[in-house]
Structure 1
Amino acid sequence: MKFLAYAACSGLLLAACGTAHDAPAETQPRTDAPPAANAAAAAGAASTTFVESPDAAAKPFTATEMAKFNEPWAMTFLPDGRALVTEKRGALKLFQPGGGKGGVIGDISGVPKVSYGGQGGLGDVLLHPQFARNGLVYLSYAEAGDDDTRGAAVARAKLTLDAKGGGALSELQVIWRQVPKFDGEGHYGHRLAFGPDGKLWISSGERQEFTPAQDMRANAGKILRLNDDGSLPADNPFAGDGGVAAQVWSLGHRNPLGIAFDARGQLWNTEMGPKGGDELNRVERGANYGYPIVSNGDHYDGRTIPDHATRPEFRAPAVSWTPVISPAGFVIYSGSAFPDWQGDGLIGALSGQALVRVEFDGNGAREAARYDMDERIREVEQGPAGDVWLLEDGKGGRLLRLTPAAR
């Protein structure tokens, strides 16, 4: 089902509209570079730092393989040091680290049925801030609809662990859905985070449909803010508009695959641009980030998209990458194991096959280092001891633990 309100292109969206999906699946390699004119225009934007291709930095860590998973997508740590790991086909795993390398993997039952294919399947996993008291776990996933359509959904359930190294979900409740559902299997987004305000934040991709990112009748192409039960906060910027618009915190996003809060409580997101122009954004209340009207990249069929610098009413990215890195998992580090990284952003790069470190400076940011990992990095998490954990993408994706290198 297409979004019929956009069967014809408006003059505002003419440069970005098209009949075909704009990009291949984000699981495919991306090595595109932008036209020189676009690179020059983006470099002139005051709030945009253009990072070309920095030399690989010497690795200040040792990477130890701890386990392997089948198409892992996300992970989160439990208070006891064990971790939940999602696999895209619909499995939720419980990982118990060993004393050095390795560990034990168990199964969690009761996971909702997912629509697996393309970029779709089981996505993020997140604990409620009061998990130790209420046992609530949140999952995002692709959900099938009518007439061969799909959309992202978020459910919460109570997790009960057993003595055999596994457990079960119960009392599962779907608390959010992408509206409307579309055909195709791309750009679900569906990253989850709890903010310092106790609200649930969801990144919602525009489903390779372009225009929903600018339409307030759709919650695709947006960053969303909900109460922990899925209800609507009365102080959201568009709460008075009702409908799905009341969920929206910011709009004009393409495929946001990472969201994280810094120590000041400021939300940042990473997202994939089209052909060029991957982004790190400082997410502001009610702000419009311009997609598909503006982008620091272009369409895959060769059509240009006006640059952020041409439309100052739209928020420009704090960092823009061309050549692209295909950003995925994203955390802002706060541990003690890597003291030089405290307050820095750590981004998993898919096509970039790297761990990218970003330094923040107030409202700005810059890429500080890029560590070559020789594999596509799907997820980044901070461990209980301040170590950093990575999940590689795809079948047989390794779980890696990063610890400080010996000096």
Structure 2
Amino acid sequence: MRVLLIGLFFMASTIGATAQTLQSSLGDLTLTRIASGFKTPWAIGFLPENQFLVTERRGRLYLVDPNGSKYRISGLPNVEAEGQGGLLDVLVPGDFAITQNIFMTFAKKQPRGSGTAVARARLDVNKRALTEVETIFEIAEGSSGGRHFGSRIAEGPDGSLYVTIGDRGDRPSAQNLATHNGSVLRIAKSGEAVDGNPFTGGTSAQAEIWSYGHRNPQGMAFDQSGRLWAVEHGARGGDEVNLVRRGKNYGWPVIAYGRHYSGGKIGEGTRKAGMEQPEHFWDPSIAPSGLMVYEDDLFDEWQGDIFIGSLKFDYISRLSGANLTEVEALKSAETKRVRDVRQAPDGTIWFISEDRGAIFQISR
């Protein structure tokens, strides 16, 4: 049974908001706008005391009250907002009540361009400010351009941080372990590589790499069994949902489902020994962003299902089954460029509509 105060928070969140109806396989659900007025919102992070955080790609972080009032947070690191880069994901870790620390991923200026970085900071909720801001990790220098930063961050069951890095538009680098490009990383909360990572044996490989051969993963989450799921953009076709495992090679750009934007063939085909197959792929591409594994009894029928936002076709994809399949598209006038999807503490489903500049809640 849920804690009453959590329930009261999300009841309060709907005060003054207009509820709409969202059609689904469970019947008509309630769709409520929680907060609005954002520009290029990218991620949501839930806080104690009935509040939450929202990032904007242009380099702003907001604290939002249950009534939808938002307050800009000061003290952010220097963010390089160019192309697809900027202030991206935010993580409120499980020990926030003790440490007051949050983690953010962002594009950081580097000598040859910019690269994905991770910052840790203490959040003073009362002063609406970050203090003790430190960049604890940034990818190896050498990337340029404004594409494929990846940049989702998730906390593992052991408390370590997992961070997605795109190939930065440099396709072959996703197969080069000497760079961080095209990988999922595993780092400590201090930024160092974690013992047990697969490439820490003194080779030229980057010790933070957990898996590689990814194109541009923009959604990632753990399920209740501790398995790590990620979704990444393909080119023209070939968006993939992958079950991310230690040391595995996910094939980009050697194998892929889809073709280059020019229509040309990608790599060697769709399969190769030593390279992993996706659990699911889309062709044509849906441009996925944000991934959530549902684990609550509010929507008991959806326990264990994966929810992924579509930037291209404006819906939330629900995937289910041992052979992972898209079984439902949750779509309304408000699911415009769904950038993030999250399960709230009370079991409701929240998402960011980038085009609407708003946060919405799905409830029964």
Q: TM-score, normalised by structure 1?
A: 0.80
Identify the match of residue 263 of structure 1 among 224, 227, 245.
Answer: 224
For residues 28 and 184 of structure 2, the distance between their equivalents in structure 1, rounded to whole angstroms, comes to: 34
Q: Within 1, Cα distance between the matches of 2:60 and 2:295?
A: 29
Deviation digits for residues 316-346 of structure 1, max 9, x if unmatched?
1010101111110111111222111111111
**Structure 1 counterpart of 2:19:** none
Query: How many angstroms apart in 2 are the aligned matches of 1:202 and 1:91?
Result: 20
Residue 150 (structure 1) aligns with: 114
1:161 aligned to 2:131? no
Question: In the alignment, which residue of structure 2 is the partner of 1:398?
Answer: 358
Q: Match of 2:201? A: 240
Determine the C-alpha separation between the residues in 1 that align with 2:260 and 2:107.
25
Mapped pair 1:292 → 2:250? no
Go from structure 1 to structure 2 and tell me whether the alpha carbon gap of 1:146 and 1:393 turns closer, same or farther (over 3 Å shift).
Answer: same
* Aligned-partner residue type, residue 91 of structure 1: R
**Following the alignment from structure 1 to structure 2, what is the Cα–Cα distance between the partners of residues 181 and 116?**
18
1:181 CA drift (Å): 3.6
SS in structure 1 at match of 2:207 = helix
Give the SS at the match of 2:201: helix
Match of 1:230 in 2: 191
Matched, 1:107 2:72: yes
Could you say which residue in structure 2 is the equivalent of 1:197?
158
Residues paired across the two proteins, number: 339
Structure with the larger RCO, 1 or 2 (CA within 8 Å, 6+ apart): 1
- For 1:67 and 1:115, how far apart are their aligned partners in 2? 26
Identical aligned pairs, as a percentage?
38
SS in 2 for 1:97: coil
User: Tell me, what secondary structure is at the counterpart of 1:211?
Assistant: helix
CA distance in 2, matches of 1:156, 1:141: 11
Check conservation: 2:165, 2:181, Cα contact below 8 A. yes
Instruction: Please tell me the residue identity of whatever aligns with 1:111.
Output: L
The TM-score with structure 2 as length reference comes to: 0.89
Do the aligned partners of residues 373 and 207 (structure 1) sit closer, same or farther apart at CA in structure 2, a change above 3 Å counting? farther
CA drift at 1:128 = 2.4
Shift of 1:124: 0.3
Residue 366 (str. 1) matches residue 330 (str. 2): no
Where 1:286 maps in the other structure, the secondary structure is coil
Q: 1:209 to 1:294 in 2, by over 3 A?
A: same
Amino acid at match of 1:184: G
- Deviation string 1:9-31 (CA, Å, 9 cap, x unpaired) is xxxxxxxxxxxxxxxxxxxxxxx
Once superposed, which parts of structure 1, at least 4 consecutive aligned residues long, lie more than 3 Å away?
A: 56-60, 241-244, 306-310
Residue of structure 2 in register with 1:74 after alignment:
43
Q: Structure 2: which 5+ runs fail to align?
A: 1-23
Residue 214 of structure 2 aligns to a residue in which SS? coil
SS of 2:173's equivalent in the other structure is helix
Structure 1 residues 287 and 385: CA distance shift in structure 2, 3 A: same
> For the structure 1 residues 293 and 67, does the alpha-carbon distance in structure 2 shift closer, same or farther, using more than 3 Å as the test?
same
Determine if contact 2:199/2:205 at 8 Å carries over to the other structure: no
| From 125, 149, 154, the counterpart of 2:90 | 125
**Change in CA separation of 1:97 and 1:230 when aligned onto 2, cut-off 3 Å:** same
Q: Select 1:314's aligned residue among 275, 282, 285.
A: 275
> Which residue in 2 is equivalent to 1:95?
64
Contact 1:328–1:379 (CA under 8 A) maintained in structure 2: yes
Q: Aligned residue for 2:237?
A: 276
Out of 81, 84, 88, the position equivalent to 1:116 is 81
Deviations 1:114-135, CA, capped at 9 Å, x for gaps: 1112101100000122110000
- 1:301 equivalent to 2:266? Answer no
The answer on whether the counterparts of 1:308 and 1:314 sit within 8 Å (CA) in structure 2 is: no
Residue number in structure 2 paired with 1:34: none
Tell me, in whole angstroms, the C-alpha distance in 1 between the residues paired with 2:325 and 2:164: 22
CA shift in 2, pair 1:104/1:287, >3 Å: same
**Equivalent residue number for residue 8 of structure 2:** none
- Contact map agreement 1:179 1:219 (CA 8 A) in 2: yes
Deviations along 1:16-47, one digit per CA (max 9) or x if unpaired, are xxxxxxxxxxxxxxxxxxxxxxxxxxxxxxxx
2:354 aligned with 1:389 = no
RMSD of the TM alignment (CA)? 1.8
Matched letter for residue 126 of structure 1 = L
